[in-house]
Structure formats: C-alpha cells, structure tokens
Structure 1
Amino acid sequence: MSASVEAPVLIIGAGPVGVTLANLLGTYGVRTLVVERSTAVFDFPRAVGLDDEALRTFQATGLAEEMLRDMIQNVPMRMYTARKQCFAEILPSTREFGWFRRNLFSQPLGEKTLRRGLARFDHVQLRLGLELVGLVQDEAGVTATLRDEAGAEQQVRAAYAVACDGGRSTVREMLGLSYEGRTHPAKWVVIECDQDPLDAPYTALHCEPERPYVCLRLPYGLRRWEFMLFPGEDGEQMLAPDKVRELLGRHVADPAALNVIRARVYTHNSRVAGSFVAGRVCLAGDAAHITPPWIGQGLNAGLRDAFNLGWKLAWVLQGRLRPELLASYHDERHAHAKAMIDLADTFGAVLSQRNPLLAWARDRFFMAIRNIPKVRDYVLQMKFKPMPRFAKGIVRNTGVAGRDALVGRMFIQPNVEQERGLSQKLDDVVGARFALLSWRCDALAGAPAALHAQLARLGCDHYVAVRSRSKGNEAGSPMPGQLSGTVIEDLENTLHFWFHGKDVDWVLIRPDRFIAAVGRRADAAAELGSFCEAVLAPADTAQPQAAAHQSLVQAEALAA
C-alpha cells in the first residue's frame, strides 16, 4: 500500500453533485481531492432539468454562463389527459432568484463543463479510476483506502469526507446508515434520439392509462421519451430495436427513421438516508436521498446539498465556524429533501394512473378547475413546489414572528447597479461570502470595533447599502451618514418592495444566499453580535484572519 495522501476534504464520487461541491470548495479556497471509480462521464440518459436554485449554485462557482451554453431556458411543462387534452401548463414567470425556474440540459454535457471548471483551481484535484474499498474515521479525521484499476491501494487522510457516490452508496453502506423508503414496482424505459422529429418545444406528461409516458425536447436537437413498463415486460427485452420502434410507433410517423442514441431502463425509488451527517462524513445527492423524476427535482435536490454543505465545510476548516455546526447540514436539508420526495410521489401516483375509471375521474377534475384563476396561477407559477426554509440551523431567531419567518429562506436576487450603466446580478456584487445588505442606511453606523472584527472573522467584511434607483444623472435616494461599504442602486424596485414589505432595514445573507438574520437599524449591532457569538469558532482555533480572508478573495477572483 502506498503512502497516505492528505487533503482537508475528500469527495467520493465525481458526478454532478460531487463536482459542483468541489467547484464551490475551490471557490472558497479549500484544498480538495475528488475521486471517482469510473474513468469517463456516463453517456446515459439521465437528469435533464435544472431550476433557478441550481443555476444560482453554478453562479456561485463562476460557471453559470458556461452551463447555460448547453441549456434551453424557460421551458414549459404540459400535462395531458387520457384524451390528449392539456389540463395544466407550468411556466413560471418569476425570476426571484435571478434565473428562470425551468431549464433543460443534457447531463453528460453539463458534467463535462463542471469538470473543466476544476482546472481553474490548483488546490482541487480530480482523480479517476479509483474505487473506495475502506473507510474509517476518528475524532481527528477520516482515512479512506482507495484501489486503482491495477489493484494497487493507497490511503487518503482527510479532515472531512463527503459521499457523492450515488443511490447505491458504498460510503453509506460502510457507515451502516439507513436508506428509508421504497422502490416503485413499475420500471421505465428511457429513449433518446437526435434530429428531433417533433415540433414540441416543451415537456409533456401524457397521463394515458394505456401506457403513461413523458416526451421532451433537449438541447442540440435531441428528443427523449420515457415509457412505463407493465408487469411481465422484461426491461432488457424492451430495449431491443424492434421493441423500441414499437414503443415509438404511436408517436412518430416513421420510427425506423429515428437515430436512437441512448436507451436504458430505470427503476424509480423514493428513499432518504436516516442521517446526512455521521461524524466527519457527510452524504450528498443520491447517496443521501433519491426521488422519482416526476417534478424534475432529483439533481436539483443534490445541488442544494452541495451549496448548503460547501461553505460550511470551508468555514469550519478556516476556523470561522464552530465544528459542531456542521451537523446543521442535516437539520437544514433532511426535511426539505423528504418533502420533495413526497411531492414527486404524489405527482407520480396521480399522473401515472392506469385504472381507466380513476384516470377518467382525475381528468374531469383537473379539466374542471383549470380555469379558476387562483388554481391556474398556483400551477403555472409552480407554487406547489416546497421552498427550502429552516427554523433551526445557522440562523438567528429573535422571537419576533414576522422577522423569524424570513430567516432560513433564500434571499431574492435582483439586478442592481454599482457603476452607472453596468447592470449586475446581486450575488456577483456581494461575492462568495457572507454579506450584510442595508436598505437606505448604514446598519453598522456607530457599531463597536469588536463587532467589525467578529464580522470579518465570519467572512463578512463586505457591507452593501442599497438605495432606490436614481433618474438620469441625478443622485439616488439619500443615504444618511458616511457609509462603510459599497453602495448599489435598486434597478427594478425589487429590493424596495422586499424591504418595505418585510419592515426590516438590513439582512445578513449567508454564502449559500439564505438569510441568516434580519432586523431594524436600531438592533443591528446587538443582533449581529449575538449571531456571531453563536456561530464563530473560538478565536484561538481560527487561522489568522488575514490569511483566511486572502484565500477567499483569491479564489473568488479565480472563479470570476
């Protein structure tokens, strides 16, 4: 066995969740090793949908625009009755987080973009062809034993390990963690062809009892079908060319003319691990939870994991955050992951109904309510989607109901202006760190130097004051006093309505863009001080603040 290799973070699995996490850690300046058993990206029909939260995650890594190059944005989803009548269309107009809510991509292409992104970081390494064969942990770290394709073994010592190794996670099994839920009895065959033969630029869920199926357009002229298989139909036999043509025969004029480039059989699962954190090992993506694809949230849920976990690992390793607060990753992600699985199960049960009588009743119900304005808006804007919100974790609750309802939610991302004529998304202004955002004031005016020092240790030395949009070359809305940070203008009045509607003057935003604390100007020093006291690691355990800050600034510049 070769000598031990050391890395602060070891990521096991280089799928989209693992590599996104590695890009985030690279942005945060954390030395990271990613290992993957396979030597190439799987060229299978896999995830196709990315939501606005996912794109905001990629934005934090500096890769959003590159990912968009291989993506179709703002794609509607339609649901059809057994008689092929459209009873619902989902096309959210909101861009509250800065991006469209429904976007389609090809996972193999996306994974390649994410892997190329790792090349920007000298402190992040991707090693392929390595299989995990052993994992032990102690109070100081984790020791992983890896085996290469030639059978040679080596050990890696890490402060923390993250399992991103899929639904059949080797790490989860080694840790003895439960994976609770069920495997659905029906299998599905997924078929992709090129040179899209249909003029249907949307995702369609066809709720036909005869054989429920999904049909959608993908980038670069690809078309995907997903067909339910019935009891007695052998999955492998259904992939034979004649069976594939038979499945497609009812939907295209000449199935024999199609160039099928991918076909695979999948089983739907609804499962969630009992815990996402076990000592110094965390689970993310399918290793932590797996969901049927009905609402397109499988990969998106994993990317939420990466965004939530990445900054916490970095802040703990940099001596900013109390190590025990890493457990908040489970507290903040487990319940929401389960809620998304439950919603997908409900969608699947309703839309894949095979009983003709029940399907008829379902169709009549949905056709009857589709023109009720509130119902139509509820579906069209995807308001049925459970939005992440955590009442406990790395947040500051004050006992004031209106304010506490704001913490633990993702903050909006409007376009703002820092320099005249230059419109930017808010996250690009505040950077990959904590940010204190104040509305038409300096929330830290008169604050003691000790609080400024605490915020700097937290990674919040970038204060942003927002003022209303000015007219022409006139000065914007007044900003009293001498400001201690950046001044930006609210281009679209979005921040104006948010702050006035919530009756607060300032908001502390975490690196994953969730609200950590809010308040009025008069209580800013006290509330921010209390938050810092609760989450900051003891000063004697932190690395020198200047060095920690410099690593983050350098990594941000590199990502940009």
Structure 2
Amino acid sequence: MTDTDVVIVGNGPIGATLSVLLAQRGWRVTVLERRPKPYKLPRATSFDGETARLLAATGIGPDLGRITAPANGYQWQTADGQTLLDIAFTTEGPYGWPDANTMHQPALEELIAARAAELPEITVLRGHEVVAIADGEVVQVTAADADDVTRTLSARWVVGCDGANSFVREHLDVPVTDLGFSYEWLLCDVQLNEQREFVPTNVQICDPARPTTLVGSGPGRRRWEFMRLPGENAAELNSDETAWRLMAPYGVTPETATLLRSTTYIFQARWADRWRVGHVLLAGDAAHLMPPFAGQGMCSGIRDVTNLAWKLDLTLRGLASESLVDSYGDERREQAREAILASVQLGRVICVTDPAAAAERDATVLANRRGKPAGRPEPAKPLTGGLLHESPGAGVVVPQGRVQVGGTTGLFDDVVGRGFVLLTTESHGSEFLAELGTHVVRLDDEVDVDGVYRPFLARFGATSMLVRPDYHVYGTAGPGDLDTLVADLRDRLRAAVPTG
C-alpha cells in the first residue's frame, strides 16, 4: 500500500487539472507545490474552444463564463494598418464553447483549486519543494518545506507538472530538442479603468520598427507585448516608464488603466524527447515550451493531462498494463512538436525588424489574400498514431452539439457524460464496454438536436464510432462491423493487461 496513488509535482493549471481528473476517477492524489501561496500574476491569457471543453471535464464548466471573455477575432496588421491575416471567432464553436476565451489565469486557477477542495482524494502540500525521486516498483518522492524539513511519500506514479525549469525533467536527465528560436519581449498587463471594446480582440502588429502584440486577458484586462529590438538595452526596456510610453499610442495611460505588471521574458521552442522514464512522467511546460504566437502553450498542457489521466486510470484499475501509458508520450509529443513548429513558423513571420524584409513579406501576403474573407480557426489537431483503430476518422476530435436524452437537452458531455462513448445507429450491448464505463448513445434525429453527430458519422461512411475519454475518435465502423471495432479495442487493451 502506497501513501498515495499519484504524486503530482506542481500545482499550476496543468498539475491542478490532472489532480482533479484523477480524483474524479477515485484515485488518491498528492500535489507537491514549492510556492507557499498561489502565484497571483497571469502567464497564459486565453484558451481555445477545445481546451474549454477539456477544462469543463473537471466540473468547472458552469463557472468558466464568469472568468472569461470570448474573443471576437485575431488579426495580423502591417505597420500602416493593412490586414495580413484575419481570423473570425464565434461564441458557438464546434466543441460547444467559444472559439477563443480570454481569461485572467489566477481566476482560472482559483476555480480549479475550489473544485479540488471538494474532492477528499486530493491533498495539496504547499511550500514543499521536491528534492529527490527514487523510482522502482513504487516511487519514493522526497520534498523539503520552508524549514528544510523533509518528508518522503510513496506512490505508484509521479507526474512532473513543474514548469519550464522542471526539477523532475532534470532528475530524469532526458534529452531535449531545442530549436534555438527565441526573442525577448516586454510584457505589460493592465486593468482598464473603463470598459472598452477592442475589435478584433487580438492583434499582432507586424511593424519592423517594433513588432507588437495586443490581446485580451479576461474581463476588463488587456496585455500588450513589445519586442526588444536588436541592440536595444534590456534594462531600459524593462521599466514601467517604457511600458507606459509604448502603450500611450493605444490610449493606455496612467489615467485610463492600472499597470499590473511590466517585465521582460524570453520565449523558447523546445520539447523533451522522452516523457516517461519508469513510473515518472512529464506534462505541460516541463515537457514542452513554445513561442506564444499560436496561443497554444497552456492548451497543450491541458491536452497532455487529459490524454494521460484516463490511461493512468485504466492502468491503476488493472484493465491495462503500463505499456498503455507509453502511448501518452507517443501521441502527445508529436502533437506538441507540431504546435511548436507552427508557433515558430508564425514567429519567423512576425519577428522581422528589417524594413526591406518586412516590406517584401507584406507585399507577398497582401497579394495572396486580396479579396479573401476572414477565415475560421483550424479544427483541433487529430492524432496520427498511438492507440487508434485503422479506420476512417480515427484520431479526429469529435465535435460537441446539443442532444436530448431521457427528456434532458443540453451539450453532449453534460447530458451523456464523459469517458468512453459509443455513438451508433445500431443496437449494441457489450460487457467489455460496460467494464470501461462506456456511454452508449443510439443516434436518431430526436437525440441529435443540432444535427451534429449523424452527419459527422456520415463524413466517414460510418454508422458507429468509438470515442476515447479525451474526445479523439478511436475508430469507426460501417453497418455490421461494430462488433469488430469493439473487439479491436478490447484486444488492444487486453494485450497490455498483466498476467499472473
């Protein structure tokens, strides 16, 4: 018997989310956080609609609207205001949430912490810095408090969600792929004295004289970021006086806003090459760091722990062996790598300070987009490998619409429930699916209120679809092939079940 089932190192949004996802499944979780009190300044400023859906799985969905403000769009503009890129956001996105949600990160963390406090399975030890990890059949984790008094906990698994300077990653001594793409920016967080409307909400000004970012950061809050120019003195840039001077052209002055913070930071583009060593895993910034231009840093971390939680659950329940956990790193590392590469590509376009190069960029982009309407955000990235059936649609993220089940109408996840889901137009019963806690939904026009699911199945020529707890499609089946699809999942998991 271990002291706890899972130790999580780090109680930021990623570690806290994982703690709730595991505790909701009945597992004892101890979170070790080096900070004695929650960090009160924001880092991330927004999350996309898919991530909102994942966060809602922790039980905080009804309160998300209180701490967020939907973004209405995202533009890249030239120095003289011409539009290089235009993406329109809607409040009714394909995953049941607004396409983009701006937020004050401490408010989000407070919501998750309040939810964690409702779950007796979670113990949070603040002011405890991990100083040693000894892996084995049982993992021993030693942490020191502010008085340098140590305590050691035993657990079946340890997950490092301890950020960019991760002790857990350093302890594992895993290699890291670093793309060497980094720039220093001045970050300015403000609270506006009066309500102002910004259309679009988020703007990237591709001005070679000073690349600049303007984004929403929750109700009544905004963030401005200004790139440090070649040869510019870092100390002079990193001052409140400089922050006010650079924000003044946007009507942001000491008379119209309160400066909550101004500080410089250097973004990085890197990922750990291994996310698991023995019974110790990495997630969030401990596993990957990316430039901010696609807004996917925190979102990627939430996807990490959503993928990991259900796999740890099946392993701890004895329904699969530890080899299932290997698919976590295989699946998420590739997705994170793609997100990092995409962010770097955007950054190479934005972080141009040579006027001639910027003029050439602007001319090329403007010529290519002439006459085109505003675009829409790309759909959530599918998985391309891992625990997937070889069938059309496998790996795609299933959308979310409203359904009517048992006289209740609402978003699918709230009405049907979360976990494995079987969407089908056929009758089907399976002890194996019941053992997994699968929600079986037989679709018809009455159930599919918004007409989302039947067309989604038809897109892949399917009458049935198995969906994983992280909303990725495991696989699809046509008429009469559902038993084969279910048997494939059963065999894949049972092949990983320990014997003896």
TM-score (norm 2): 0.94
- Any unmatched runs of 5+ in structure 2? none
Greater CA drift, 524-533 or 336-345: 524-533
* Matching of residues 466-505 of structure 1 within 5 Å: 466-469=443-446, 489-505=447-463
Checking the alignment, whether the CA contact within 8 Å between 1:75 and 1:104 is kept in structure 2 is no
1:104 aligns with 2:102: yes
Give the structure 2 partner of residue 116 of structure 1: 114
Q: By how many angstroms is 1:216 displaced?
A: 2.2
Which residue among 141, 144, 162 is the counterpart of 2:141? 144
Q: By how many angstroms is 1:340 displaced?
A: 0.6
Residues 127-186 of structure 1: per-residue CA shift (max 9 Å, x gap):
110001001101x12111100111100101110010000111111101101221145452
- For residues 458 and 519 of structure 1, the distance between their equivalents in structure 2, rounded to whole angstroms, comes to 19
Give the structure 2 partner of residue 465 of structure 1: 442
- Give 3-state SS (helix, strand or coil) of 2:269's partner: strand
Give the structure 1 partner of residue 394 of structure 2: 407
- For residues 193 and 352 of structure 2, the distance between their equivalents in structure 1, rounded to whole angstroms, comes to 28
Q: By how many angstroms is 1:493 displaced?
A: 1.5
Which residue among 461, 468, 471 is the counterpart of 1:513? 471
Q: By how many angstroms is 1:224 displaced?
A: 1.3
Corresponding letter in the other structure for 1:149: A
The number of residues matched between the two structures is: 497
- For residues 540 and 134 of structure 1, the distance between their equivalents in structure 2, rounded to whole angstroms, comes to 29
Corresponding letter in the other structure for 1:119: A
- For residues 456 and 61 of structure 2, the distance between their equivalents in structure 1, rounded to whole angstroms, comes to 25
- For residues 253 and 157 of structure 1, the distance between their equivalents in structure 2, rounded to whole angstroms, comes to 52
**Alpha-carbon spacing, 1:152–1:196, altered in 2? closer, same or farther (3 Å):** same
1:318 aligns with 2:325: no
- For residues 424 and 45 of structure 2, the distance between their equivalents in structure 1, rounded to whole angstroms, comes to 38
Checking the alignment, whether the CA contact within 8 Å between 2:206 and 2:351 is kept in structure 1 is yes
Corresponding letter in the other structure for 1:459: G
* Matching of residues 246-395 of structure 1 within 5 Å: 246-252=245-251, 254=253, 258-373=257-372, 376=373, 380-383=375-378, 387-391=381-385, 393-395=386-388
Q: By how many angstroms is 1:292 displaced?
A: 0.6
Greater CA drift, 80-89 or 163-172: 80-89
Give the structure 1 partner of residue 3 of structure 2: 6
Residues 337-374 of structure 1: per-residue CA shift (max 9 Å, x gap):
0111111111111122111111112112222232454x
- For residues 27 and 342 of structure 2, the distance between their equivalents in structure 1, rounded to whole angstroms, comes to 36
Q: By how many angstroms is 1:234 displaced?
A: 4.0
**Alpha-carbon spacing, 1:148–1:541, altered in 2? closer, same or farther (3 Å):** farther
Give the structure 2 partner of residue 550 of structure 1: none
Q: By how many angstroms is 1:454 displaced?
A: 2.1
Give the structure 2 partner of residue 555 of structure 1: none
**Bigger radius of gyration among the two:** 1
Checking the alignment, whether the CA contact within 8 Å between 1:245 and 1:256 is kept in structure 2 is no
**Alpha-carbon spacing, 1:405–1:499, altered in 2? closer, same or farther (3 Å):** closer
Corresponding letter in the other structure for 1:490: D
Checking the alignment, whether the CA contact within 8 Å between 2:321 and 2:496 is kept in structure 1 is yes
- Give 3-state SS (helix, strand or coil) of 2:394's partner: coil
- For residues 262 and 332 of structure 2, the distance between their equivalents in structure 1, rounded to whole angstroms, comes to 33
Checking the alignment, whether the CA contact within 8 Å between 1:320 and 1:537 is kept in structure 2 is no
Give the structure 1 partner of residue 421 of structure 2: 435
Residues 233-279 of structure 1: per-residue CA shift (max 9 Å, x gap):
34444232322222223333745664211112110100000111111
- For residues 261 and 99 of structure 2, the distance between their equivalents in structure 1, rounded to whole angstroms, comes to 27
Which residue among 151, 155, 162 is the counterpart of 1:154? 151
**Alpha-carbon spacing, 1:196–1:365, altered in 2? closer, same or farther (3 Å):** farther
Corresponding letter in the other structure for 2:441: V
Checking the alignment, whether the CA contact within 8 Å between 2:44 and 2:298 is kept in structure 1 is yes
Q: By how many angstroms is 1:112 displaced?
A: 1.2
- Give 3-state SS (helix, strand or coil) of 1:151's partner: coil
Checking the alignment, whether the CA contact within 8 Å between 2:380 and 2:397 is kept in structure 1 is no
- For residues 55 and 18 of structure 1, the distance between their equivalents in structure 2, rounded to whole angstroms, comes to 16
**Alpha-carbon spacing, 1:437–1:265, altered in 2? closer, same or farther (3 Å):** same
**Alpha-carbon spacing, 1:91–1:47, altered in 2? closer, same or farther (3 Å):** same
Corresponding letter in the other structure for 1:454: F
Which residue among 55, 58, 72 is the counterpart of 2:55? 58
- For residues 356 and 196 of structure 1, the distance between their equivalents in structure 2, rounded to whole angstroms, comes to 36
**Alpha-carbon spacing, 1:501–1:243, altered in 2? closer, same or farther (3 Å):** closer
Residues 65-114 of structure 1: per-residue CA shift (max 9 Å, x gap):
22221001243111110212223221244722211221111111111111
- Give 3-state SS (helix, strand or coil) of 1:468's partner: coil
Give the structure 2 partner of residue 210 of structure 1: 209
- For residues 319 and 236 of structure 1, the distance between their equivalents in structure 2, rounded to whole angstroms, comes to 56
Give the structure 1 partner of residue 66 of structure 2: 69
- For residues 307 and 213 of structure 2, the distance between their equivalents in structure 1, rounded to whole angstroms, comes to 31
Corresponding letter in the other structure for 2:163: G
- For residues 257 and 426 of structure 1, the distance between their equivalents in structure 2, rounded to whole angstroms, comes to 43
1:169 aligns with 2:166: yes
Q: By how many angstroms is 1:539 displaced?
A: 7.4
Give the structure 2 partner of residue 481 of structure 1: none
Residues 492-514 of structure 1: per-residue CA shift (max 9 Å, x gap):
22222112222211111111111
**Alpha-carbon spacing, 1:320–1:430, altered in 2? closer, same or farther (3 Å):** farther
**Alpha-carbon spacing, 1:279–1:372, altered in 2? closer, same or farther (3 Å):** farther
Residues 453-492 of structure 1: per-residue CA shift (max 9 Å, x gap):
22222332x32111113xxxxxxxxxxxxxxxxxxx1112
Corresponding letter in the other structure for 1:417: Q
Corresponding letter in the other structure for 1:282: L
- Give 3-state SS (helix, strand or coil) of 1:433's partner: coil
Greater CA drift, 246-255 or 129-138: 246-255
TM-score (norm 1): 0.84
Give the structure 2 partner of residue 42 of structure 1: 39
1:86 aligns with 2:83: yes
- For residues 185 and 425 of structure 1, the distance between their equivalents in structure 2, rounded to whole angstroms, comes to 41
Checking the alignment, whether the CA contact within 8 Å between 2:2 and 2:156 is kept in structure 1 is no
Residues 4-41 of structure 1: per-residue CA shift (max 9 Å, x gap):
97111110000111101111112221111111000222
**Alpha-carbon spacing, 1:184–1:45, altered in 2? closer, same or farther (3 Å):** farther
- Give 3-state SS (helix, strand or coil) of 1:491's partner: coil
- For residues 284 and 115 of structure 1, the distance between their equivalents in structure 2, rounded to whole angstroms, comes to 19
Corresponding letter in the other structure for 1:428: D
- For residues 103 and 252 of structure 2, the distance between their equivalents in structure 1, rounded to whole angstroms, comes to 26
Corresponding letter in the other structure for 1:390: T
**Alpha-carbon spacing, 1:526–1:243, altered in 2? closer, same or farther (3 Å):** closer
Corresponding letter in the other structure for 1:27: Q
Residues 186-230 of structure 1: per-residue CA shift (max 9 Å, x gap):
211111121257542411111111111111233232221100012
Corresponding letter in the other structure for 1:416: V
- Any unmatched runs of 5+ in structure 1? 398-403, 445-451, 470-488, 543-560
Checking the alignment, whether the CA contact within 8 Å between 1:438 and 1:464 is kept in structure 2 is yes
